[in-house]
Amino acid sequence: MNLRRPNALLPLVTLLAVLLAGCGPVRSVKVIKLAHALDPSHPVHLGMAHFAARLAEKSGGRLRVDLYPSGQLGSERECIELLQLGGLGMTKASSSALEGFAAEFRVFGLPFLFSDEAHRWAALEGEVGREILLAAEGKFLRGLCYYDAGTRNFYTTKRRVVRPEDLAGLKIRTQESPMAIRMVRALGASATPIAFGELYTALQQGVVDGAENNPPSFHLSRHYELCRHYVLSEHTAVPDVLLISTHLWRQLTAEEQRWVQEAAGESERHQRELWNEATRRALDAVRTAGVEVIEPEKALFQERVAALYGEIARELPAVGELARRVREARP
């Protein structure tokens, strides 16, 4: 073909125009990074994956969530701080880890706060639960929904725990939570805050004698390899919180904010179904591995920590009032 002849370029120009017309308008995609410290098989991670899928569908692909599990972008606290700085879009955090950012989250660390699962979700999905979700907005952290993290239970390397007295003298790992530390001390043990990712080694080396967590986390972390006694004390039911940086939230349009909130709510309900099955499987698995699952008389533990409610009401009246409202919530 002789390119010096003007007419020789017409077929190429026509073809290019047809191809561009077929592509249609190019839509920009907003990518949201969501990082957390959990294993990809964890039911809370699966809840976040459901959130990502529903958000992509609602937005027609205009909002995309990229998940970074297993601490790829930092520890739980580091991810929270990245949200505050605007260096990360979203994360999942235990409400215990949020106590240092908004005192309202301390209410969930009070032992035996909920009478049963129905009461728990009535409180979390009601007015008081929504109020707590937004308590850290002034710290650039907006709560979107709660994820079920079940009930927390003690597990130990050496000693069987049937009564509170059996915890005396033991070093028990806790989250970096003032309420968890106070509760463990009230039960007679020594509270030792350690990052979750460092806990296996700490148990292995005897830095701590045990810890407390829900069944799926106990199983997936493989802590059962070192701790052969799992005590169903069910002393707290500390929910996880799906967080978005307010820096990012304010950049979204009203329609995009609605999509994000709706997708979060749908993922919350989906994750709750996953959680119940994961808890059953985890307990079956650790029993099969030879772990002794102990069902103690919980009333004995309740009696030992009952004074915490009066102490908190005197020291932090606002948290004491939240505790009253949570306890009065009804399905």
- What end-to-end distance do the CA atoms of the chain give, in Å? 79
> What's CA 262's distance to the chain center, in Å?
18
d(CA 258, CA 109): 30
Q: Which residue in the block uniquely carries the two structure tokens 């709706």?
A: 262
Residues 6+ apart with CB under 8 A from 214: 149, 150, 151, 152, 153, 279
What pLDDT was estimated at residue 243?
98
- For residue range 108-146, what is the model confidence (pLDDT) as tens digits? 999 999 999 999 999 999 999 999 999 999 999 999 999
Name the pTM for this structure. 0.86
Reply yes or no on whether the pLDDT at 208 is more than 70. Answer: yes
Is the separation of the CB atoms in 186 and 192 below 8 Å?
A: no
Reply yes or no on whether the pLDDT at 7 is more than 90. Answer: no
What pLDDT was estimated at residue 176?
86
What pLDDT was estimated at residue 155?
98
Which H or E run includes 314? helix 307-315
Q: Which pLDDT band, with edges at 50, 70 and 90, does 16 fall under? A: very low
What pLDDT was estimated at residue 6?
44
* CATH numbers and ranges of domains, the chain: 28-149+239-277 (3.40.190.170), 152-237+285-328 (3.40.190.170)
- For residue range 21-62, what is the model confidence (pLDDT) as tens digits? 444 455 699 999 999 999 899 999 999 999 999 999 999 999
Mean pLDDT score of the chain, rounded to an integer?
A: 92
* Three-class SS state of 151: coil
- For residue range 231-259, what is the model confidence (pLDDT) as tens digits? 999 999 999 999 999 999 999 999 999 99
What pLDDT was estimated at residue 83?
98
**CB 78: neighbour CB atoms within 10 A?**
15
Task: Name the CA dihedral angle for 296, 298, 303, 308, rounded to a multiple of 10 degrees.
Answer: 120
- Bridge partners (DSSP) of residue 102 are none
Reply yes or no on whether the pLDDT at 19 is more than 50. Answer: no
φ, ψ of residue 115 in degrees (nearest 5): -80, -35
Q: What is the mean pLDDT of residues 208-221?
A: 96
Query: Count of alpha carbons within 13 Å of 118, Cβ hemisphere only?
Result: 2
24: left (phi over 0), alpha (psi -120 to 50) or beta: left
- For residue range 162-195, what is the model confidence (pLDDT) as tens digits? 999 999 999 999 988 899 999 999 999 999 999 8
What pLDDT was estimated at residue 207?
98
What pLDDT was estimated at residue 197?
85
Query: Strands (DSSP E) along the chain, which ranges?
Result: 30-35, 63-68, 90-94, 141-147, 152-156, 171-174, 190-193, 210-213, 229-236, 240-245, 292-294
* Three-class SS state of 216: helix
What pLDDT was estimated at residue 330?
87
What pLDDT was estimated at residue 269?
96
Q: Which residue in the block uniquely carries the two structure tokens 């700085």?
A: 85
